[in-house]
Amino acid sequence: MKICTEQVTFELPLALESGVTLPSFELMIETYGELNSLKDNAVLVCHAFSGDHHAAGTKDEGGKAGWWDQMIGDGKTIDTSKYFVVSINNLGGCHGSSGPTSLNPETNLPFGSAFPEVSVQDWVNAQRNLLDHFGISCWEMVAGGSLGGMQALQWAITYPDKIKKAAIIAASSKISSQNIALNEVAREMIRKDENFCDGDYLAQGSKPKQGLKAARMLGHITYLSEANMSKRFGRKLQNPETKMDAAVSYEVENYLQYKGEQFAETFDANSYILMTKAMDSFDPAKNFNQDLVQCFKHIQAKLLIASFSSDWLFPKEYGKDIQMSAIKAGIRSSYIELEGDYGHDSFLFRSDEYAASLQNFLEGRDECS
Amino acid sequence: MKICTEQVTFELPLALESGVTLPSFELMIETYGELNSLKDNAVLVCHAFSGDHHAAGTKDEGGKAGWWDQMIGDGKTIDTSKYFVVSINNLGGCHGSSGPTSLNPETNLPFGSAFPEVSVQDWVNAQRNLLDHFGISCWEMVAGGSLGGMQALQWAITYPDKIKKAAIIAASSKISSQNIALNEVAREMIRKDENFCDGDYLAQGSKPKQGLKAARMLGHITYLSEANMSKRFGRKLQNPETKMDAAVSYEVENYLQYKGEQFAETFDANSYILMTKAMDSFDPAKNFNQDLVQCFKHIQAKLLIASFSSDWLFPKEYGKDIQMSAIKAGIRSSYIELEGDYGHDSFLFRSDEYAASLQNFLEGRDECS
């Protein structure tokens, strides 16, 4: 599988939903496989909340496999011997695309709190430029899980003639009050870290690692199912010799401590805030008087909507809502409820049923009319 | 209704499960109604995680009603014209009983981190002394919700001849990996607050309010149901004029900010840690080779086990597990699944079905054989 990583600079203004216009912007991208001569084999994959452009393969010896490596590759579900897969780091992220860690040309310091709010719509508008960059007229598929699935849905709504298929996995057409509340607790932890410095920590040479760690610990609980945690950890006590913190008693506490620490080393706190705010505000029906059916009327793409029964963060009802609106709007769509052992995170892990659903959809072998 | 509030000093040693012995200890109690001449009308109510001894009535003009005021009072479910109700603040709490805010006689400073770990068993052992204090030989009922229900269950197990009825509401015989994980995130937020000072903040004239606030915000989400939050707040935006914090967008965020702030003013961070640790470690079957049926064999009290269908923190399966073990142990028990509009917090709010279930049980009119 051919893997290319590139930071693409777009020297054109991007008007954001917030009212702010970026005079230019950069997107970090990674591609897998090759674009064919007809340029009709391109698939865009959109990352979830804390993901990045590294979706597949292993870049360096001993390096980390991409977040969707189980699904993307030669002979895999999204077969890179056939498809040209484009993966991006979204605007506001912290892995090479324009975001709060980028240098603000006005101050020559990292943007920090000065980086504007971004939305799912903004991300899709930014990604739109990738079509011209590659000379592609239409994506064969846009796919993603969670916040990535929201982008796939927004693509189908905003650019009906630029996308043939949208795979909307473990996603929602708008999140619940409870989801917003959980995101707000995470933001509160970050903002109140003594090293947050109102968001300008990088300029001041510090990082709010404790807040970011605690936010991630909470996130982890919501990504996994209760059943999965019970199976993996139960009420097992932690071996005292491998405790991350003296106050830890149970294995599950130690696991969260470890995962949280790891994350806080590599992620940016402002990006965390921006990404959760984008998730909170996603609500494509807002421009259609809260009528999702009207919002879907002009969609031309076929939709695959997949939910996981063990997902309690974005439960299957969210997927069913999207499907019911698609049916009422008279557009082509197919809904599948998958088992999944990993709660919300199930979208990251291959199962035969999951892989077959997505592959049949991509290959046009599904029954979706 | 006669209300008496008293701080009772027990000048006797209390051996805690941790191995530490308190040479003496204080319990803050409040009583409602009057003990009859036979001394056979006493009911003990045990508070949940952040509750205290103030369970019913309103002490001062304009003051706050007790946490179970909907259920306790003259003519109410637990009728104080008939029953003598005793309510306590538990050991390790911060409302008058011995705990981390009490003065350590060895240092003449607040105990802080030096206050020993406490367990549900320790609480019940401490409460045991109230029988002698009042000259009561046996509780007519011990009742509580959530962590309070765990105490009611522990009473039935530890002191089979000192309790006639145990009302175990919205409780569990041991909490799940997910519950422990949520508690650990709350503790992490508190411990990493810059003002926590390894638990000795009071001695140093500070308080880890930010951490405690964030912990409570998270707690609140788990106490309410998703449906309740959707109904109360949905995705409504907060009026900019009444924002608790400029970063707040939605009403639900503002509500959590408000509730968290309020709580952080009145509760103690070390107590928060101690109470969650007691919840994590509760597991009466641990002394019976994890066999809850064996653990229940010697119970003489009748049990009422009540769960709420909207409770996702301590879901109804927890109540059913207790009931099934009671059935297998051959003890008298009755299980009821109630609707409840408030998720886990439903145990605090009266409904006709809830009130009738508890009253029938207390009055011996239930069918529980």
Q: Do A340 and A212 fall into the same domain?
A: no
Of the candidates A344, A345, A357, A366, the residue annotated as catalytic is A344
Task: For residue B189, give the nearest of A182, A189, A283 by CB distance.
Answer: A189
Q: Do A193 and A327 fall into the same domain?
A: no
Task: For residue A229, give the nearest of B178, B189, B260 by CB distance.
Answer: B178
Q: In chain B, how many domains are there? A: 2
CA A13/CA A24 separation, integer angstroms:
5
Q: Do B185 and B251 fall into the same domain?
A: yes
Residue among B179, B185, B250 with most chain A CBs within 10 A, to mutate? B185
Give how far B263 is from chain A: nearest CA, Å. 15
Contact A217 B257 (CB under 8 A): no
Contact A180 B250 (CB under 8 A): yes
State percent of chain B over pLDDT 70. 99
Q: What is the mean pLDDT of chain B?
A: 95
Q: Which residue of B has its CA nearest to A278?
A: B249
Task: For residue B182, give the nearest of A187, A189, A221 by CB distance.
Answer: A221
Label residue A366 by pLDDT band (50, 70, 90). low
CA distances from B133 to A348, B76, B93 (A): 60, 26, 20
Q: Which structure tokens are listed for A209?
A: 């690692």
Q: Do B50 and B152 fall into the same domain?
A: yes
Give how far A263 is from chain B: nearest CA, Å. 15
Q: Do A196 and A166 fall into the same domain?
A: no
List, as one string, the DSSP characters of A96-149. Answer: SSSSTTSEETTTTEE-GGGSPP--HHHHHHHHHHHHHHHT-S-BSEEEEETHHH
| Residues counted in chain A | 369
Q: Do B142 and B14 fall into the same domain?
A: yes
Q: What is the pLDDT of residues B244-302, one digit of tens each?
A: 888 899 999 999 999 999 999 999 999 999 999 999 999 999 999 999 999 999 999 99
User: A270 lies in a domain?
Assistant: yes
Which of A276, A309, A341 is the last residue in one of the domains?
A276
pLDDT at B86 over 50: yes
Q: Do B193 and B167 fall into the same domain?
A: no
Kindly list the residues from chain A whose CB atom is less than 8 angstroms away from the CB atom of residue B247.
187, 191
Q: What is the mean pLDDT of chain A?
A: 95
- Residue A200 a catalytic site member: no
Contact B230 A178 (CB under 8 A): yes
Using CB atoms within 10 A of its CB, is residue A363 exposed (0-12), middle (13-18) or buried (19+)? exposed
Give how far B117 is from chain A: nearest CA, Å. 11
Q: What is the mean pLDDT of residues A33-51?
A: 97
User: A367 lies in a domain?
Assistant: no
What pLDDT, on the 0 to 100 scale, is given for residue A157? 98
Kindly list the residues from chain A whose CB atom is less than 8 angstroms away from the CB atom of residue B193.
192
- Residue A344 a catalytic site member: yes
What pLDDT, on the 0 to 100 scale, is given for residue B366? 59
State percent of chain B over pLDDT 90. 93
Domain range spanning residue B302? 3-175+284-362
What pLDDT, on the 0 to 100 scale, is given for residue A341? 87
CA A359/CA B282 separation, integer angstroms:
47
pLDDT at A153 over 50: yes
pLDDT at B367 over 60: no
Residue among B119, B175, B182, B184 with most chain A CBs within 10 A, to mutate? B184
User: A242 lies in a domain?
Assistant: yes
Q: Do A102 and A251 fall into the same domain?
A: no
Q: What is the mean pLDDT of residues A48-75?
A: 92
Give how far A139 is from chain B: nearest CA, Å. 32
Contact A250 B184 (CB under 8 A): yes
Of the candidates A102, A146, A173, A325, the residue annotated as catalytic is A146
User: B369 lies in a domain?
Assistant: no
CA A366/CA A350 separation, integer angstroms:
19
Q: Which structure tokens are listed for A354?
A: 């999951």
Q: What is the mean pLDDT of residues A358-367?
A: 85
Label residue A369 by pLDDT band (50, 70, 90). very low
Of the candidates A311, A334, A346, A366, the residue annotated as catalytic is A311
Label residue A138 by pLDDT band (50, 70, 90). very high
User: B230 lies in a domain?
Assistant: yes
Identify the CA nearest to A335 among candidates A326, A344, A343.
A326
Question: Does pTM surpass 0.80?
Answer: yes
User: B118 lies in a domain?
Assistant: yes
User: B244 lies in a domain?
Assistant: yes
CA A10/CA A328 separation, integer angstroms:
39
Q: Do B95 and B197 fall into the same domain?
A: no
Q: What is the pLDDT of residues A293-341, one digit of tens each?
A: 999 999 999 999 999 999 999 999 999 999 999 999 999 999 999 999 8
CATH number of the domain at B309, please: 3.40.50.1820
Which of A248, A276, A304 is the last residue in one of the domains?
A276
User: B344 lies in a domain?
Assistant: yes
Residue B213: what residue type? Answer: K
| Under 8 Å between Cβ of A108 and A12 | no
CA A53/CA A69 separation, integer angstroms:
12
Q: Which residue has the higher pLDDT, B354 or A61?
A: B354
CA B97/CA B89 separation, integer angstroms:
6
Task: For residue B214, give the nearest of A188, A220, A226 by CB distance.
Answer: A188
CATH number of the domain at A250, please: 1.10.1740.110
What pLDDT, on the 0 to 100 scale, is given for residue A14? 98
- First and final CA of chain A: distance in angstroms? 33
Q: Do A73 and A211 fall into the same domain?
A: no
Which of B248, B276, B304 is the last residue in one of the domains?
B276
What ipTM score was computed for the predicted complex, to two decimals? 0.89
Contact A253 B213 (CB under 8 A): no
Contact A226 B178 (CB under 8 A): yes
pLDDT at A367 over 90: no
Residue with tokens 């509030």: B5
Q: Do B229 and B114 fall into the same domain?
A: no
Q: Do A304 and A265 fall into the same domain?
A: no
Q: What is the pLDDT of residues A227-239, one digit of tens each?
A: 999 999 999 999 9
Kindly list the residues from chain A whose CB atom is less than 8 angstroms away from the CB atom of residue B256.
181, 184-185
Q: What is the pLDDT of residues B304-349, one digit of tens each?
A: 999 999 999 999 999 999 999 999 999 999 999 999 989 999 999 9
